[in-house]
Amino acid sequence: MAEDKFEPRIVAFFCNWCTYLAADLAGVSRLKYAPNLCVIRVMCSGRVDPQFILDALAKGADGVLIGGCHPGDCHYQEGNYKALRRFRLLQRMLEDLGIERQRVRLEWISAAEGSRVRSVVNSMTEDLRALGPLRWNSRQASPAGAVEAQ
Amino acid sequence: MQALTLRKMKFQREALPQWVEQISDIPGCERVYSCIQCGTCSGTCPLSIYMDFTPRRVIALVREGFRTEALTCQTIWLCASCYACTAHCPQNVHITEVMYSLKREAIRHRMYPPRFPIPVLAQEFYKSVRRRGRNSEFWLVLRMALRSNPFLLLKMIGTGWRLLRTGRLSLKREKIERIQEIQKEFAAPREAIS
Amino acid sequence: MKADDSGLAARGYLYYPGCSLRATGVAYEESLLTLFRLLGLPLRELEDWNCCGATSYMSIDEGAAALLSARVLSLARQQGAEDLLAPCSACYLALRKTQDSVHRYPRVQQEVEESLARAGLTLLNSTRIRHPLEVLYTDVGLPAIHTKTVRRWRGGQVACYYGCQLVRPYEGVDKAQNPTRMEELLQQVGVPVVDYALKTKCCGGSLTGTLSEVGLRLNYILLKEAARKGAEAIVTVCPLCQFNLDAYQRDIRQQSGERFDIPILYFTQVLGWALGGGVRELGLHRAVSGRNLIKRWFQAHEPVEAYV
Amino acid sequence: MSEHKSDIRTGVYVCHCGTNIASVVDVREAARHAASLPGVEISREYKYLCSEPGQALIRQDILERGLNRIVVAACSPHLHEETFRTAAAAAQLNPFHVQMINIREHNSWVHEDKARASRKAEKLIRAAVRRVAHHKPLERVRVPINPAVLVVGGGIAGIHAALTVANAGRQVYLVEREPSIGGHMAMFDKTFPTLDCAACILTPKMSAVKAHPNIKLWTHSDVTDVQGYVGNYRVKVTRWPRMVREELCSGCLECVAACVFKEAKVPDEFNFGLSKRKPIYIPFPQAVPQVPLIDMENCIQFRTGKCKKACAQACGDRKAIDFQQGEEIKEVDVGTIIVATGSKTFDAERAAYYGYGTYPNVYTSLEIERLVNACGPTAGRVVLRNGETPKSVAIIHCVGSRDENTNRWCSRVCCMYSLKLAHLLKEHTGAEVFNFYIDMRTPGKGFEEFYQKLLNEGVHFVRGRVAEVTEWALDQSEEGKLVLRVEDTLLGLVRRIPVDMVVLSVGMEPHADASEVRRLFNITCSSEGFFLERHPKLAPVNTFTDGIFLAGSCQGPKDIPDTVAQAGAAAAEALALIGAGYMEQEPNAAYVVEDHCSGCGACSALCPYSAITLDAGARRSSIHPVLCKGCGTCVAACPSGAIRQNLFEDEQIFEEITGVLTHG
């Protein structure tokens, strides 16, 4: 389908206990936000392997959003801290690869923060719209981490 | 006394829902839909006891889209912009801003009694500042009185004399040096009256 | 002492008088300049300032009001100020409001920027809007005021009256519900204050001129409650409040049948006098009401050693 | 392990959810699109898939068409994943061959652009179809349930829950922070709408708790640590020293009488300072346990060390008074926990315009409860601070409720307790009573009738939120009074009403330390700070942590009947688990593919449950399938990719990523 306006594609990894529920709450509260993101549910943000993020970018995502519980609130005590540590390492690597910071975001969104889902998704969509498409797959060869060929 | 035969029913065909949307789109008026009609605004307003519709009722008129009543009521002119209602409102309705927006619309459509001093004062103030960049109180009051009710001047003579005696009545017409900056700022066509 | 003198003096305050301080509120300007001089903090007047827009503008064209204030903000930044002192409550509110709506609403920001650009100005929105009350309380500090006091208060009890637009809707100068900073400052120089429940009630603003029956009644209530509480004078922070309460006491007598002759002072006059300012340089001779009492309270110069 | 691609026979089911989904997402097109995907045998759309006919449709397709994978595009898996898994199991399909995707909460309810919402639904379906092909048959693991129950909080909720569980023959540990159980209810005089005496219905239950052989009661104690998981919690309780040994005390209270303080001088917490107590005291006459405690801040012995210790002398040979008593830590194992920590009332000083804390005759509703109470500080005489009886009283509703500047929510109980107080104040004083309300909310059994009763008693009802209470008097009639300024919104007029006494009907809000308590039990809070239930309708007493249940106002404002009902429900949930003896766990545990493991041990440090053990000799890690809670942190961290996670295998997630990103 031809699109006049560039619509970024965002892949989201939401933890089952906080951010996924926050997105459910946004739904129950009928908050409207941009349909640019598709959520993949994981039990904990600690499960998000950097390979998932690289894979998504390689397969055409313009941005990746990771959502976890607030620090200290992890359902599994500290999985979100692990996610944060890994995310920081990944950020440095993405910088080296020339991928803009705003393309991969880690957000703490508790189950009560439905409206934060809306604001985060909308602001990220805006940011990516301003950045334009990533087209990482055509810009360079897939990184080693991206397993599957299209 | 009003005629015994005055009809006071409100018909739904008089309601203007689009108008409510326009009002709620004005900066500061967003929360007009959140009003729970608790009356805190009227209770805290020092002027509500003089109003034909209490502030709460004006918000109700706006919410229901009864534009004519909302724009022709005395309430909006009695509002002294003291912000007591806004600071106090449990639903964060910025009632003062709603009052401002109603005043602006009423002035734009000349929906106020002729020679009514409050809007006249606002207009004279507006003109003087556009012309000179500053406001000179003496000239402002003089023109307001001449345009609305010259008898006001008689009442003011005593006060005026006392002010003059204490050196507080300046007859100087203040003007800024780079008035062209103000005029250029206002150069683009604006929605408001000129 | 909270901050050291030299630092404050070096930083200085840019000062935005506003139209009222050049007319009916001239005593406010006189006492403010005197007080700050006595504190060693001379004020520098904003060059080529214009009207803030104020209440009347907002009821005609809110955008225009924002443009006027925006020019003031931009001039202030251009002239190198971090802080802009706005002693008039209406100016204070208008500037804060413009700053706030530019910040909050992108469409307002855009309009303001474009309009300023036509006049060759750029929007500089980072100036902090300050009121002298807040500056005295937080920058100068109560101990400094106390130490610099050279005169013992000879007058009676006063009621502190804040009016409306200084404390609402923007907090910053003091608490919206029950502000107390003026009382605290006055107590530092030995002025007894009464508990005044109406301290943030509105004086009616320009209604005294436009709809005088209503405006006068509001001021009558303010005067009466102050008197009931045993206050012999009312101390204000706003030129319009001072004007309404001071200039109309005869009209109020005609309306209510009750006689008032209560001095309506600026807090800068009271503090300035305690710090050694003269009657004329504080504009105390410009009062319309309570002139006899003012004479009694302020005339004799009595430096005190034992006081501090 | 995985089946050959050609063996995959997937059924895709797109739910309309009435019009909830179908009005935004083009469900027909979505189903048509699904049919074109590889491995999809059948694709259908249906009005309500969760209904019995909807489930039957899926079961029938599995049996008749030999489906071995199911994708359901409907609401949140938190709502109906279990429903569709059960349906699959009923048709002999492994329940974990079902994948659910959320096109309602995450799609039709949050998007307005129908075309784009429809395309998003298709992407999600594509992702699920790809993912589900990699699903494996899995078995649930059973966890045994320890039959002991911990109840936290000894208000009416905790008391009722504890008694219910104990009466079913199970061991209960009841922990209360205050020196006595009873909570807020113990402060009340009468209860609405029946006006029966609160003490008459509460105190027997309090004594029953103390006497029950199955209840271990620890007051003046805090839960300080919780470890473990459903069925197997290990809890530490810290018992703060009372300086009076509970096991030795007979409750004679001779010590209190003997205290060197001849007059009570310390403001009494239970009566909000309206009366005084001694440094050794019991909180109130009906306290359970009937054991006094010493307040170390005011006791002379603790302040100077030079008291003659009259209390200890009075105690005599019992030697219950122990100035050296230290805190004591108890450790217990329980299977389930009921959190009933209650709420607090709004701090009225935050609503400065009502003058609480400034004008002495402005009271909170709880203070009035004590004043009208026969065993309160005035023995039930309602008097002003100067001892006079008020001739007029104003009761202001919604103080700290329905207010964006303080608390946004309706506290649910204030309208009714204000009516009750209006009745009691009128009865006790004969005063003229005014109620100021925004909306009168009486939606309970017998509540509206009670309102009618009050209307007929001649109480004034003014619809309007009071703007201010001042002592600013306009004329003689207002001199010396508290004056309310309010718009009577039914008259459309502003009124000034002078009264002698003002009662602020304060709302309910979470305890200041609710957030710490929440972390202790690993449960969540809603945005207001009340504990969050798993589902507002279908799991109102469950939390997101298995085996931990909620009761009472810690979950949200509620009255006594609702609190007791919820406490009963929480007890029933706990007993249901205990009765079953085990709980089935989601089979999402991580496991180690031994051949790939290098034995580096990086994973074991990450596991918060110590579920990973490293066999240093064999250089292999292994994961305990029951201890593992399935977070997957170790999976993402394993440098050699040797750890995998059931239900969240790498390839399943990669397929999902591919699915949502493939142009279609």
What does the pLDDT look like over C246-275, one tens digit per residue?
999 999 999 999 999 999 999 999 999 999
What's the rounded mean pLDDT across residues A117-121? 96
Kindly state the DSSP code that residue D465 receives in the 8-state scheme. Answer: -
Find, in chain D, the residue whose alpha carbon is nearest to that of C196. D472
Give dist(CA C228, CA C249) in Å, integer.
Answer: 16
Tell me the pLDDT band of C96, cut-offs 50, 70 and 90: very high
C177 touches D: beta carbon within 8 Å: yes
Supply φ then ψ for residue D42, to 5 degrees: -145, 145
**CB contact set of B71 (below 8 Å; sequence gap of 6+):** B102, B105, B106, B109, B111
Taking an 8 Å cut-off on Cβ atoms, the answer to whether D465 and B91 are in contact is no
Kindly state the DSSP code that residue D347 receives in the 8-state scheme. Answer: -
Closest partner residue to A56 (CB to CB) among D545, D608, D657 is: D657
Tell me the three state secondary structure of residue D49. Answer: coil
If you count residue pairs, one on C and one on D, with CB atoms under 8 Å apart, how many are there? Answer: 11
CB D497 within 8 A of CB D460: no
Angle (CA) D607-D609-D614 rounded to 5° is: 55
Angle (CA) D589-D591-D597 rounded to 5° is: 155
Taking an 8 Å cut-off on Cβ atoms, the answer to whether A43 and D110 are in contact is no
Taking an 8 Å cut-off on Cβ atoms, the answer to whether D654 and A38 are in contact is no
Does pLDDT of A144 surpass 50? no
Two tokens at D159?
């008391």
Two tokens at B23?
């009002």
Q: What sign has the CA pseudo-torsion A117, D83, D653, D142?
A: positive
For residue D204, say if its preceding peptide bond is cis, omega within 30 degrees of 0. Answer: no
Find, in chain D, the residue whose alpha carbon is nearest to that of C220. D474
Find, in chain A, the residue whose alpha carbon is nearest to that of D645. A47
For residue D289, say if its preceding peptide bond is cis, omega within 30 degrees of 0. Answer: yes
Find, in chain B, the residue whose alpha carbon is nearest to that of C28. B168
CB D421 within 8 A of CB D372: yes
Give dist(CA D517, CA C155) in Å, integer.
Answer: 57
Neighboring chains of A (3 or more beta-carbon pairs < 8 A): D
Taking an 8 Å cut-off on Cβ atoms, the answer to whether A42 and D102 are in contact is no
Closest partner residue to D352 (CB to CB) among C178, C221, C225 is: C178
Interface probe, candidates C171, C177, C195, chain D, greatest D C-beta count within 10 A: C177
User: Which has the closest alpha carbon to C88: C131, C137, C31, C26?
Assistant: C131
B110 touches C: beta carbon within 8 Å: no
What's the rounded mean pLDDT across residues D633-639? 94
Taking an 8 Å cut-off on Cβ atoms, the answer to whether D660 and A40 are in contact is yes
For D318, other C-beta atoms within 10 Å of its C-beta total 15
CB environment B74-113: b (16+ within 10 A), e (fewer): bbbbbbbbbbbbbbbbbbebbbbbbbbbbbbbbbeeebbe
Tell me the pLDDT band of A145, cut-offs 50, 70 and 90: very low
Does pLDDT of A76 surpass 60? yes
CB D277 within 8 A of CB D266: yes
**CB contact set of D286 (below 8 Å; sequence gap of 6+):** D182, D186, D199, D203, D206, D375
Q: Are strands C264-266 and D10-15 parallel, antiparallel or unpaired?
A: unpaired
Taking an 8 Å cut-off on Cβ atoms, the answer to whether D472 and C177 are in contact is no
Neighboring chains of B (3 or more beta-carbon pairs < 8 A): C, D
Q: Which amino acid is at C140?
A: V
Tell me the pLDDT band of C56, cut-offs 50, 70 and 90: low
Give dist(CA D371, CA A133) in Å, integer.
Answer: 70
For residue C143, say if its preceding peptide bond is cis, omega within 30 degrees of 0. Answer: no
List Cα–Cα distances, D639 to A49, A50, D177, D251, in angstroms.
Answer: 11, 12, 47, 64
Tell me the pLDDT band of D14, cut-offs 50, 70 and 90: very high
Q: Which of residues 84-113 of C touch D (CB under 8 A)?
A: none
Taking an 8 Å cut-off on Cβ atoms, the answer to whether B100 and C121 are in contact is no
Does pLDDT of C238 surpass 50? yes
What's the rounded mean pLDDT across residues D52-77? 96
Task: Mean pLDDT check: name the lowest of B114-128, C279-293, D638-652.
Answer: B114-128
Min Cα distance B73 → chain D (Å) is: 15
Contacts of D116 in chain A (CB under 8 A): 7, 35
Q: What sign has the CA pseudo-torsion D232, D236, D242, D243?
A: positive
Please count the residues of chain B.
194
Give dist(CA D364, CA D350) in Å, integer.
Answer: 12
Give dist(CA D278, CA D260) in Å, integer.
Answer: 9
Interface probe, candidates D472, D481, D482, D483, chain C, greatest C C-beta count within 10 A: D472
> What dihedral angle (degrees, nearest 10) is formed by the CA atoms of D479, D480, D484, D490?
-60
Q: Which of residues 48-67 of B touch D (CB under 8 A)?
A: 48-49, 53-54, 56-57
B186 touches C: beta carbon within 8 Å: yes
Beta bridge partners of C266: C236
Kindly state the DSSP code that residue C46 receives in the 8-state scheme. Answer: P
pLDDT digits (tens, 9 = 90+) for D475-528: 999 999 999 999 999 999 999 999 999 999 999 999 999 999 998 998 988 889
> What dihedral angle (degrees, nearest 10) is formed by the CA atoms of A118, A124, A125, A127?
140
Q: Say if B and A touch: at least 3 Cβ pairs within 8 Å.
A: no
**CB contact set of B156 (below 8 Å; sequence gap of 6+):** B141, B145, C209
Q: Which of residues 183-242 of C touch D (CB under 8 A)?
A: 197-198, 221, 225, 228
CB C43 within 8 A of CB C16: no
Closest partner residue to B125 (CB to CB) among C56, C200, C212 is: C56
Q: Say if D and A touch: at least 3 Cβ pairs within 8 Å.
A: yes
What's the rounded mean pLDDT across residues D378-393? 95
pLDDT digits (tens, 9 = 90+) for C130-187: 999 999 999 999 999 999 999 999 899 999 999 999 999 998 899 988 899 999 999 9
Contacts of D439 in chain B (CB under 8 A): 36
Tell me the pLDDT band of C304, cut-offs 50, 70 and 90: very low
Interface probe, candidates A17, A24, A31, chain D, greatest D C-beta count within 10 A: A24
Taking an 8 Å cut-off on Cβ atoms, the answer to whether D524 and A82 are in contact is no
Min Cα distance D467 → chain B (Å) is: 5
Taking an 8 Å cut-off on Cβ atoms, the answer to whether C197 and D472 are in contact is yes
Min Cα distance D474 → chain C (Å) is: 8
Does pLDDT of C301 surpass 90? no
Find, in chain C, the residue whose alpha carbon is nearest to that of B181. C119
B43 touches D: beta carbon within 8 Å: yes
**Strand ranges, E, within D57-170:** 69-74, 98-102, 141-144, 149-152
Taking an 8 Å cut-off on Cβ atoms, the answer to whether D106 and A24 are in contact is yes
For D456, other C-beta atoms within 10 Å of its C-beta total 8
Two tokens at C238?
């706003």
Tell me the three state secondary structure of residue D463. Answer: strand
Contacts of D462 in chain B (CB under 8 A): none
What's the rounded mean pLDDT across residues C99-105? 90
**Strand ranges, E, within chain C:** 13-15, 43-45, 83-85, 128-130, 158-161, 233-236, 264-266
What's the rounded mean pLDDT across residues D547-560? 97
pLDDT of residue B193: 36
What's the rounded mean pLDDT across residues D607-622? 89
Contacts of C175 in chain D (CB under 8 A): 352
Tell me the DSSP string of D287-304. -SS---EE-TTT-HHHHH
User: Which has the closest alpha carbon to D28: D43, D9, D18, D17?
Assistant: D43
Neighboring chains of C (3 or more beta-carbon pairs < 8 A): B, D
User: Which has the closest alpha carbon to C95: C198, C166, C33, C191?
Assistant: C166
D406 touches C: beta carbon within 8 Å: no
Find, in chain B, the residue whose alpha carbon is nearest to that of C22. B170
Tell me the pLDDT band of C1, cut-offs 50, 70 and 90: very low
Taking an 8 Å cut-off on Cβ atoms, the answer to whether D352 and C225 are in contact is no
pLDDT of residue A135: 80
Contacts of C205 in chain B (CB under 8 A): 80-82
Could you tell me which residue, C81 or D483, shows the higher pLDDT? D483
Say what percent of chain C tops pLDDT 90. 70
Residue with tokens 């393309």: A103
Residues of chain A by 3-state class (helix, strand, coil), percent to 5: 45, 15, 40
What's the rounded mean pLDDT across residues A3-23? 91
Contacts of D472 in chain C (CB under 8 A): 197-198, 225
Residue with tokens 């694709």: D43
Contacts of B48 in chain D (CB under 8 A): 487, 494
Tens place of pLDDT per residue across chain B (194 aa): 567 888 889 999 999 999 999 999 999 999 999 999 999 999 999 999 999 999 999 999 999 999 999 999 999 999 999 999 999 999 999 999 999 999 999 998 989 887 788 888 888 888 888 888 888 888 888 888 888 888 878 888 888 888 888 989 888 888 899 888 888 888 765 544 33
Min Cα distance D473 → chain C (Å) is: 8
Taking an 8 Å cut-off on Cβ atoms, the answer to whether C169 and B83 are in contact is yes
pLDDT of residue A148: 40
Kindly state the DSSP code that residue D542 receives in the 8-state scheme. Answer: B
pLDDT of residue D617: 87
